[in-house]
Amino acid sequence: MGRIIFWLVIAFGALLALRLVNTAKARSRNGAATGAGSRRGGGGGAMVRCVGCGVFVPGADAVATPRGPTCGDARCLRLGRSDAA
Ligand SMILES: [Zn+2]
């Protein structure tokens, strides 16, 4: 009986160790991914949604149209200016 418990503890310990390694890896990956983009939070302005395609673009890069901000794509600009598709 003691042997079974011993191996269970070993198995859970191994799983916990693997999990810690994986979360550490994922965190460093996410940190690298968001680290480059986190600067926009400082003064770049909010993200706005393109009324044409629905993609989010920085407010500074958005092109204002009568119907709302667009990503600047020609098709989206057309959609933003009129209802005709
Ligand atoms: Zn668009």
Q: What is the CATH number of domain 44-81?
A: 3.30.60
Rounded distance from Cα 3 to ligand 1 centre (Å): 63
Neighbours of 65 (CB within 10 A): 18
| pLDDT score of 41 more than 60 | no
Rounded distance from Cα 23 to ligand 1 centre (Å): 35
| pLDDT: which is higher, 35 or 20 | 20
Q: Please tell me the predicted confidence (pLDDT) of residue 2.
A: 87
pLDDT in tens, 65-84: 999 999 999 999 888 787 65
Name the DSSP letter for residue 11: H
List, as one string, the DSSP characters of 42-81: HHS--EEE-TTT--EEETTT-EEETTEEE-S-HHHHHHHH
Closest CA to 62 of 38, 73, 43: 73
Rounded distance from Cα 47 to ligand 1 centre (Å): 13
Which pLDDT band holds residue 40 (cuts at 50, 70, 90)?
A: very low
- Let me know: does 55 contact 70? Beta carbons within 8 Å: no
Rounded distance from Cα 37 to ligand 1 centre (Å): 20
